[in-house]
Amino acid sequence: MNVKKVSESIVTMTELVLPNHTNQLGNLLGGQLMHWIDICAALSAAKHSQRVCVTASVDKIDFHHPIKLGNAVTLVASVNRVFKTSMEVGVKVYAENFSKGTRIHTNSAYLTFVSVDENIKPVEAIPVIPETEDEKRRFDEALQRRKARLEKRDNN
């Protein structure tokens, strides 16, 4: 089986916040952002596995700062760790105001995907190798999140 580097799974997506994406305060709707996060993460998982990938769970989405109407939203996703048939994908979200020249990290999210075959059956995932210190940290943290997720599931 092939092995891939984390860097080979990186997907960057940019969206413009339009009026139909915002609430009454002129802030990006959380649901709209979650939709973009899911798409970006799914593309990263598919790029890594070279298969269609389905969302198995959304672990955590942190909202640090509001994203305003007119901002450019950049989402950067990569595979953090691969398990037998599943993989954790991390997504970082940045809001940019081009006229002010500002860029801030607004959100982080962790999602689990499963790659599937033509019959929509899970298939063994391609292992991933972290190279940088940041990738190694995220690789280790992904195992801790998985353990917590499985423990919570078993206790329910």
Written as six digits, the tokens of 45 are 């998982």
Q: Look at residue 1 in the predicted model and tell me its pLDDT.
A: 60
Q: How confident is the model at residue 150 (pLDDT cuts 50, 70, 90)?
A: confident
How far is 132 from 72, CA to CA, in rounded Å?
28
Q: Is the pLDDT of residue 99 over 80?
A: yes
8 A C-beta contact, residue 89 and residue 110? yes
Question: What is the pLDDT, as a whole number, of residue 125?
Answer: 93
Query: Average pLDDT of 83-98?
Result: 97
Beta bridge partners of residue 108, listed in sequence order: 62, 92
Domains in the chain with CATH codes? 4-155 (3.10.129.10)
pLDDT at 63: 87
Decide if pLDDT at 154 tops 90.
no
Q: Which residue has the tokens 């998982």?
A: 45
> In this predicted structure, what is the pLDDT of residue 155?
82
